[in-house]
Amino acid sequence: MSASLRLGIVGGAGWLGSAIAGAALSAELVRAENLALSYRRTKPDRFPGVFWTDDNQALADRSDVIMLSVRPQDWPSLELDAKGKLVISVMAGIRMAEIGEKHGTGRVVRTLPNAAAEVGKSFTPWIASGDATELDRATVRAIFGACGVEDEVGSERDIDYLTGLTGSGPAFPALLADAMMRDAVAFGLAPEVARRAVNTVLTGTGRLLELNDASPADTVEAFLGYRGTTAAAIETMREAGFDKAVAKGLAAAFLRSIAMGKA
């Protein structure tokens, strides 16, 4: 993929849009002068040399690939004619067919990155519509490969499920870390020591998982095998409903994702 890509990100001033813009620039997929980013209220002063605009049609007209990165509730009022160009959505819940119909293109890709795109560690599932070309697919792989790991999936239902599992995913280890932190502070550890301890456990575990690429079940089994403090904790957490709580939470996210698309 050459740096001649002309990319426009609607909502490029936002959290995810800016993260993707930063990743595409760093990976030299796009040159600053070929990157258009739109904002609604205030023009940001990030990304020198890019084309900032509050006119989404102007963004679309100067781009070959148009990314939609506004919140789902802001999408119905977004007017933009893509004129048959590739449109990539990162919006949760919105169906490919609706996007194509509204923006005048059959080349639509629905993706669902996550907040770790900001550090090049997103997991991004995606699915392409029937009219998307092989070059369109290569473009999507390049953009989201620059943001972390990407996978083409078989159905929009998979995207709806992954909206919870990985789209919301960074929140779940954060939730575990918060519970561990509260417990440590309640025990009496100094908060700054507790925070360093918990954050280091999380980042260390992430690094180990990345290097070993082991199945999570095998990792848990290896810890259980010691029959020590870790096994005592895991077994007690499971008896208290840990696995069930996770499954119920993911089911709630899945249902919410489907409901967002119907709203």
Ligand X SMILES: NC(=O)c1ccc[n+]([C@@H]2O[C@H](COP(=O)([O-])OP(=O)(O)OC[C@H]3O[C@@H](n4cnc5c(N)ncnc54)[C@H](OP(=O)(O)O)[C@@H]3O)[C@@H](O)[C@H]2O)c1
Rounded to the nearest 10 degrees, what angle do helices 216-224 and 229-239 cross at? Answer: 120
Q: Please list the alpha-helical segments (H only) found in the chain.
A: 15-26, 56-61, 96-103, 134-145, 156-162, 171-187, 191-212, 216-224, 229-239, 242-262
One residue of 5, 9, 11, 143 binding ligand X per CB under 6 A: 11
Binding of residue 257 to ligand X (CB under 6 A):
no
Q: By CB under 6 A, how many residues form the interface with ligand X? A: 26
> Within a 13 Å sphere around the CA of 151, how many CA atoms are in the beta-carbon half?
11
For ligand X, the closer of residues 173 and 189 by Cβ is: 173
Stretch that binds ligand X, among 86-94, 179-187, 191-199, 211-219 (CB under 6 A): 86-94
Binding of residue 15 to ligand X (CB under 6 A):
yes
One residue of 74, 151, 156, 158 binding ligand X per CB under 6 A: 74
Binding of residue 43 to ligand X (CB under 6 A):
no
- Neighbour-count burial for 41-50, b at 16+ CB within 10 Å, e otherwise: eeeeeebeeb
Closest residue to ligand X using C-beta atoms: 14
Could you tell me whether strands 108-111 and 122-128 are parallel, antiparallel, or unpaired per DSSP bridges? Answer: antiparallel
Residue 215 carries which side chain, given as an amino acid letter? S
Q: State the minimum distance, in angstroms, from the CB of residue 241 to ligand X.
A: 27
Binding of residue 177 to ligand X (CB under 6 A):
no
Among residues 72, 70, 67, 79, the alpha carbon closest in space to that of 126 is found at 67
Q: State the minimum distance, in angstroms, from the CB of residue 88 to ligand X.
A: 11
CA–CA separation, 63 and 85 (whole Å): 9
Binding of residue 69 to ligand X (CB under 6 A):
yes
One residue of 38, 105, 129, 257 binding ligand X per CB under 6 A: 38
Q: State the minimum distance, in angstroms, from the CB of residue 221 to ligand X.
A: 31
Binding of residue 167 to ligand X (CB under 6 A):
yes
One residue of 1, 58, 78, 185 binding ligand X per CB under 6 A: 78
DSSP of 213-234, one letter per residue? ---HHHHHHHHHTT-SHHHHHH
Binding of residue 166 to ligand X (CB under 6 A):
no
CA–CA separation, 122 and 213 (whole Å): 16
Q: What residues make contact with ligand X under the rule CB under 6 A?
A: 10-11, 13-17, 38-41, 56, 69-72, 74, 78, 90-92, 112-115, 167
